[in-house]
Structure 1
């Protein structure tokens, strides 16, 4: 490929747009009831908070199109965008709007996000298989910040100064994750602080979104505690939480007989044809276990401890005071009450890492910045980022099977950031898109579903 030397450029066409995919995507948001939910549930009253039903969708649209700061919202005001949409606002207006939020308003926005997700599930197959089994993954991430003007910043568990974002996602074996809960916290907050209430809210949202089958809460060892497990039980869900290597867990692992260990598929695993078994440096076993015995007896929880052991590459790193078993192997325990078989439950727990992909998607998009000095404004920004993430995922699900599980960046590049020229014919606005666009079929599937006659509700 070579560029032409006979080239010039001029910004002079008022009928061009750079993100034509916003048209069907925001039509989908309207069908799912975003503006109506804002009108019903958001009760802002400060100066600068008027027309929230226009400003919230504008912020979401900017994030879907790739905005990761308030100034980037200017990408909604180019070419023919004013003909394509009404209610577009300047970045300064949207920034003022965000600064009118208080903690209570952020919680109202949480309620809007929850109901909006339920609306999306009625119009797009974003949670296929949730009536059979679904996984609620909970984890937090530190959003690094710089300077001293932002409220709530502190040094978190990774020694990075920033804000702590607690996030819950819902996924199934057939569907990519959707965000069902967010909470922005001070940077130096303990990971498990408020986790039980957060899990309870996320479980309620998951049920409302269609997770009517087996629902499993997955979390790492930061959330290994009675309150999180009890919150799952109260909501009729199961739990699968990485166990901390405390004295009780270590004693339980030591009591597992050598004959109980089963090799599993793992990196470098080999199938021995002669012996008809796996030869692997990773093995799994399980044992009944009662956790949280330091609490009152009624709060003890008995379930299974599923342990994966992997041979140490450097036996000298074994912690002092542990026996020969721990010198040879590293052990990873999972405390769970799921009805799944041992190997299936262990593999399902390892899939908890899927939430890291959501963190990465957010950090490479709207969460690239915490754009305001106001903690409440940044909290609202995080909730809006979750709404934009779910809306983008729903658009991908309507486009094609590939885009249903693609990353946010891929969906944006293929379906949202499509240039178009606007023209009017027979009193209708028509978009002329690039000929030969590689993902034309997927884009047209999204457009037909989102902008055509209403279709029957998804089941």
Structure 2
């Protein structure tokens, strides 16, 4: 491909008031309106203040931030992308970045809890109006994980040197919900200080996310999946109280090692992965492994009897190529294998339970998505402003997933970067006639059919999408 005209024959002028760069925001934000985002904010978020209008029209300010994040904004200044061309003709109440920054800095812990309530109910509304979680009435998976987000400002509240030497971070908790047929949604998020332990606040967090998943339509079997930092009696007790199952990696503590050593050699089942998967310890691709199970393993045996839990211990082992086999002597306890045990009461058969537990890695995809979009920065020096930013990112993420579910079966499973490229970043020219606005979109747009389906569905007169 090359330019069709000589360089000197081309000029550029930013002077057209009828163009917009993100016409996909029209159906996306219409979907947010139909699911009651503005009403929820008005009802739940009681933010008062006079500085730069901090407490006025909170629904318009939150909608502006969510819309900016839907376009890919990752800082407060990037929210100015909404104020170009004919955007004021399409949307009322667009706020300047300075106003939005002041609004976020006015948040307190209580206001963040109010915004959490908005997120929770907004997710339930999206799930009720769109096919976000097909099969949720039968089985749903709730995945919990933590992540460290590096920050650079010396005055950022809560930023501390934590797990990574010499790196100041904040330490959010993220929980997703998905089904065997759907990509994950963000059920709950929680901002924490950089030095917070991975499992700090996990039991209450787990209780909240299980309740949120139920409100979003996950009325069938719910299985909580988590890494070894969440392997404790209080997390499992929270699952039992909510009527949910659990599937939690245990790590290699001494009781687990003794239990694995007791498994007879003929109990191991050979499995072969259809596609190679990365080994959690080395990152090497592996295609073969073996799985065995201890049907009744009692965890937390050192605690009082009422707190002990008896369930299944399922172990996957792969060849440890870094350790050559010892010939002629016993050698180490585990000279040839690396073991990956998890504790579960999932009623599925052994290989299926192992396969479902391994799929917990989908939460890492959501975390990677966050750091490639709105969480590329935590933009404020105020801890609660960054908490609000985290919650608003979760709302924008779920909104884009809902839009994709309405567009096409392909976009229902596409990444959010693809959703932005195909459905949001569509240029358009606005024409006015007979008190109506018409969006003139590019000819031969490759995803025209999906975009048209989304637009027609959202603007249908029926209240049921």
TM-score range, shorter chain: over 0.9
User: CA-to-partner distance for each residue in 1:227-268, whole Å, 9 max, x for gaps?
Assistant: 111111110000000012111100000000001000012379
1:34 to 37, 41, 50: 37
Structure 1 residue 177 displacement after superposition: 0.4
Aligned length: 445
User: CA-to-partner distance for each residue in 1:418-455, whole Å, 9 max, x for gaps?
Assistant: 00001112211111000110000000011011122125
User: CA-to-partner distance for each residue in 1:111-140, whole Å, 9 max, x for gaps?
Assistant: 100000011012210101100100000001
In structure 2, C-alpha distance between the alignment counterparts of 1:351 and 1:317, rounded to whole Å: 31
> What residue in structure 2 maps to residue 433 of structure 1?
441
Structure 1 residue 158 displacement after superposition: 3.8
| 1:289–1:304 CA contact under 8 A, matched in 2 | yes
2:86 to 80, 84, 88: 80
> What residue in structure 2 maps to residue 256 of structure 1?
263
Q: Secondary structure at the match of 1:293?
A: coil
> What residue in structure 1 maps to residue 2 of structure 2?
2
Q: Secondary structure at the match of 1:266?
A: strand
In structure 2, C-alpha distance between the alignment counterparts of 1:281 and 1:415, rounded to whole Å: 40
> Does residue 1:17 correspond to 2:20, yes or no?
yes
Structure 1 residue 314 displacement after superposition: 1.0
> Does residue 1:108 correspond to 2:110, yes or no?
no
In structure 2, C-alpha distance between the alignment counterparts of 1:158 and 1:124, rounded to whole Å: 41
Structure 1 residue 456 displacement after superposition: 2.9
In structure 1, C-alpha distance between the alignment counterparts of 2:155 and 2:197, rounded to whole Å: 22
1:234-249 matched pairs, under 5 angstroms? 234-249=241-256
TM-score norm. by structure 1 comes to 0.94
> What residue in structure 1 maps to residue 279 of structure 2?
none
1:183-222 matched pairs, under 5 angstroms? 183-222=190-229
CA shift in 2, pair 1:317/1:398, >3 Å: farther
TM-score norm. by structure 2 comes to 0.93
Structure 1 residue 317 displacement after superposition: 11
User: CA-to-partner distance for each residue in 1:39-87, whole Å, 9 max, x for gaps?
Assistant: 0011111222211011111100000011100000100000000000000
User: CA-to-partner distance for each residue in 1:324-350, whole Å, 9 max, x for gaps?
Assistant: 451111000010001111000001000
> Does residue 1:98 correspond to 2:101, yes or no?
no
Structure 1 residue 110 displacement after superposition: 0.5
Q: Secondary structure at the match of 1:19?
A: coil
2:60 to 51, 54, 57: 54
Structure 1 residue 294 displacement after superposition: 2.0
Segments of structure 1 that go 5 or more residues without pairing to the other structure are 270-278
> What residue in structure 2 maps to residue 290 of structure 1?
298
User: CA-to-partner distance for each residue in 1:258-289, whole Å, 9 max, x for gaps?
Assistant: 010000123799xxxxxxxxx97410000021
Q: Secondary structure at the match of 1:282?
A: strand
Structure 1 residue 147 displacement after superposition: 2.9
> What residue in structure 2 maps to residue 372 of structure 1?
380
Q: Secondary structure at the match of 1:264?
A: strand
> What residue in structure 1 maps to residue 163 of structure 2?
157
> Does residue 1:443 correspond to 2:455, yes or no?
no
> Does residue 1:403 correspond to 2:411, yes or no?
yes
| 2:246–2:345 CA contact under 8 A, matched in 1 | yes
Q: Secondary structure at the match of 1:148?
A: coil
CA shift in 2, pair 1:280/1:119, >3 Å: closer
| 2:153–2:381 CA contact under 8 A, matched in 1 | no
Q: Secondary structure at the match of 1:389?
A: helix
| 2:324–2:336 CA contact under 8 A, matched in 1 | no
Q: Secondary structure at the match of 1:73?
A: helix
> Does residue 1:169 correspond to 2:176, yes or no?
yes
User: CA-to-partner distance for each residue in 1:349-387, whole Å, 9 max, x for gaps?
Assistant: 000000011001111110000000000000000000000
In structure 2, C-alpha distance between the alignment counterparts of 1:149 and 1:396, rounded to whole Å: 39
In structure 1, C-alpha distance between the alignment counterparts of 2:205 and 2:393, rounded to whole Å: 18
User: CA-to-partner distance for each residue in 1:390-412, whole Å, 9 max, x for gaps?
Assistant: 00000011001111111111000
Segments of structure 2 that go 5 or more residues without pairing to the other structure are 277-285
> What residue in structure 1 maps to residue 364 of structure 2?
356
In structure 2, C-alpha distance between the alignment counterparts of 1:332 and 1:90, rounded to whole Å: 51
| 2:128–2:217 CA contact under 8 A, matched in 1 | no
Q: Secondary structure at the match of 1:315?
A: coil
In structure 2, C-alpha distance between the alignment counterparts of 1:243 and 1:356, rounded to whole Å: 19
> What residue in structure 2 maps to residue 272 of structure 1?
none
Q: Secondary structure at the match of 1:94?
A: helix
